[in-house]
Amino acid sequence: MDNFTLPADVASIIARLTAAGHQVFIVGGCVRDILLKRCPNDYDLTTDATPDQVMAVFDGCDIGRQGLKHGTVTVIISHVPYEITTFRREGSYSDHRHPDSVAFSGSLTEDLARRDFTINAMAYSPSVGLIDPYGGRQDLCGGMVRCVGDPDERFTEDALRILRALRFAAVLGFDIEPCTAQAASRLRSLLNDISAERLATEMDKLLCGRGATDVLLRHQDIIFAFIPELEAMAGFDQHDPRHGRDLWTETVRTVGAVAPKSRLRWAALLHDAAKPSCMTLDAQGRSRFIDHDHLGAQLAQQVLGRLRFPNSLIADVVRLVANHDRQLDPATRSVAHVMAVMGSYEAFSDLLAIKAADEAAQDPRYRHGPSYYDDLRAQARQMLDLDIPLQPSDLKIGGEDLLARGYQGPAIGDRLRQLTQDVLDGRVPNQRPELLSWLDGHSK
Contacts of 310 (CB under 8 A, 6+ apart): none
Picking from 148, 181, 182, the residue whose alpha carbon sits closest to that of residue 165 is 181
pTM greater than 0.85: yes
Contacts of 342 (CB under 8 A, 6+ apart): 319, 323, 348, 350, 351
pLDDT at residue 440 tops 50 = yes
Q: What's the pLDDT tens digit per position in 372-412?
A: 999 999 999 988 887 889 889 999 999 999 999 889 999 99
Any idea of the CA torsion for 92, 94, 98, 103, to the nearest 10 degrees?
Answer: -30
The full set of domains in the chain, from first to last, is 1-142 (3.30.460.10), 143-225 (1.10.110.30), 227-385 (1.10.3210), 392-440 (1.10.246)
Model pLDDT, residue 288: 87
What number is the average pLDDT over the span 151-160?
96
pLDDT at residue 240 tops 70 = yes
Q: What's the pLDDT tens digit per position in 274-291?
A: 999 998 888 777 888 899
Model pLDDT, residue 384: 84
- Residue 190 carries which DSSP code? G
Mean pLDDT of the chain: 92
Q: What's the pLDDT tens digit per position in 49-103?
A: 999 999 999 998 999 988 888 899 999 999 999 999 999 886 566 665 666 657 7
Percent of the chain with pLDDT over 70: 96
Model pLDDT, residue 93: 62
Picking from 429, 389, 434, 399, the residue whose alpha carbon sits closest to that of residue 442 is 434
Q: What's the pLDDT tens digit per position in 212-223?
A: 999 999 999 999
pLDDT at residue 109 tops 60 = yes
d(CA 85, CA 294): 50
